[in-house]
Amino acid sequence: MTKSPTERERQSMVTQQLAARGITDPRVLEAMSRVPREFFVPAASRHLAYADSALPIDCGQTISQPYIVALMTEALELSGDEKVLEIGTGCGYQTAVLAELTPRVYTIERHADLSRAARRRLESLGYDTIHYRVGDGTLGWPEEAPFDRILITAAAPSIPESLWEQLREGGIAVAPLGGAWSQRLVALRKEHGEPVERFLCSCRFVPLIAESGDSQEETGA
């Protein structure tokens, strides 16, 4: 069967941007090859859907670079039935990739408009097992805890304590940590209640904002 131009772009993204840079988990590569990224970017940016870069979306947020999405997803070490909490639904692209890998995805977005649009988009694509919440992501989803994995798509100096408490022992949290100008993407495994850190790469994410409106970034960074 002949592939469409967007399907060819998607496959090129997987081979040239992901596999060529060391993404090796076959389930992650397959998930990235299935999710139609062009549906998650603004219409004006659709021609850049598979570009090797982050792109702006509504509410001053961004859709992450494909490589970063794949790197964060691979670092979660998903085998297929983990309960995953995502902080920052955004446009829903990362959510879709997670939903390709586990049926138990819980996602929180503080911007109601973004959450509603992402839900419509994801449900139209057949992702019907995702749980959505509008609110303060720094508080997590305590009534659904514990979570096997937590993925945070905005930067803070450290993982909020409420989220760390909702991660089960032996679980993994992936997050960008740091201030406005210097961040590191890390995977933190919870061992005896303490974080064991694995550095993934340097990065630049929008700040994690609490319901109070306070940025979780380091002051003056």
Positions marked active-site: 64
What string of DSSP letters covers 100-119? Answer: HH-SEEEEEES-HHHHHHHH
CA 45, distance to chain mean position in Å, is 20
Give the whole-angstrom CA distance, residue 147 versus residue 137.
14
Give the whole-angstrom CA distance, residue 87 versus residue 107.
6
Those residues whose C-beta lies under 8 Å from the C-beta of residue 191, and which sit 6 or more positions away, are 169, 170
